[in-house]
Chain A
Amino acid sequence: EAGVVQSPRYKIIEKKQPVAFWCNPISGHNTLYWYLQNLGQGPELLIRYENEEAVDDSQLPKDRFSAERLKGVDSTLKIQPAELGDSAVYLCASSPGQGSSTYEQYFGPGTRLTVT
């Protein structure tokens, strides 16, 4: 079974430029998460989807961040414009449960973003 796929793995951009990350969850997983992980810290949730509905986006900086999950499968996270402080690893995860985070999450390899 294929795991969570993310691309790109690495991205270097200049500040004020836009950037997008893509995630393909494990087949059949209804719940999809985007996390931000700063160096030396644990993942912090940005947004959670149940199918195509964003059920928790309270931690998403909506002035510059946006996300979508069309058709309830793949998802895209966008930052526009990027700031220096956005440099981090962006993780995507999926889980088989719907309507609950009680199920374990399966993580992708992440996208390491560097903003210069």
Chain B
Amino acid sequence: AQKVTQAQTEISVVEKEDVTLDCVYETRDTTYYLFWYKQPPSGELVFLIRRNSFDEQNEISGRYSWNFQKSTSSFNFTITASQVVDSAVYFCALSEAVDNFNKFYFGSGTKLNVKP
């Protein structure tokens, strides 16, 4: 079973539209961490945010916001007023403890196309 599911393979929006990228995770741990990464066409993954399982406060950073809901095991990412530079593949990831050390799982990514 997939640990991290990003059901949206590809999304296309027009510049200035808001867009939400979905992420659903699966874990039995009570302590875990969730991440979002951006991979622009240049290929290098860029860290965006880390949340721990005990902090369900939503977070906003500029045009980016994240909605963490343990009840639905979701950690969705919203870009407000999207820009062409937001075009990239976005990955959600989960870190959980397995056999006394943490393992890291990435989703399959959502490709976001922002058109001018």
For the complex, is B91 an interface residue (Cβ under 8 Å from A)?
Answer: yes
For the complex, is A108 an interface residue (Cβ under 8 Å from B)?
Answer: yes
Are A104 and B47 in touch, CB under 8 angstroms?
yes
With CB as the reference atom, state the residue of chain A lying closest to B9: A40
**Cβ < 8 Å to B, chain A residues 1-57:** 33, 40-45, 55-56
Distance in Å from the Cβ of A51 to the closest Cβ of chain B?
14
Instruction: State the CA gap A40–B9 with chains docked (Å).
Output: 9
Neighbouring A residues of B50 by C-beta, 8 Å: 102-104
Helix, strand, loop or mixed for chain B's interface? strand
Distance in Å from the Cβ of B109 to the closest Cβ of chain A?
5
Partner of A43, one of B46, B47, B103, B106: B106
Instruction: State the CA gap A22–B37 with chains docked (Å).
Output: 23
Instruction: State the CA gap A45–B3 with chains docked (Å).
Output: 14
Given contacts A89-B43, A104-B47, contact A42 B102 (CB under 8 A): no
Distance in Å from the Cβ of A108 to the closest Cβ of chain B?
7
A interface, how many residues as a size bin? Answer: 20 to 34
Given contacts A41-B108, A42-B91, A44-B106, contact A101 B101 (CB under 8 A): yes
B interface, how many residues as a size bin? Answer: 20 to 34
Neighbouring B residues of A67 by C-beta, 8 Å: none
Neighbouring B residues of A110 by C-beta, 8 Å: 43-44
Are B102 and A109 in touch, CB under 8 angstroms?
no
Neighbouring A residues of B108 by C-beta, 8 Å: 40-42
**Cβ < 8 Å to A, chain B residues 35-68:** 35, 37, 42-47, 50, 52
With CB as the reference atom, state the residue of chain B lying closest to A55: B101
Apart from A42-B109, A44-B106, A104-B47, what are 13 other A-B pairs with CB-CB below 8 Å?
Answer: A42-B4, A56-B101, A56-B103, A99-B101, A101-B33, A101-B104, A107-B37, A107-B44, A107-B45, A107-B46, A108-B44, A109-B42, A109-B44
A-to-B contact residues, CB < 8 Å:
33, 40-45, 55-56, 89, 91, 93, 99-110, 112
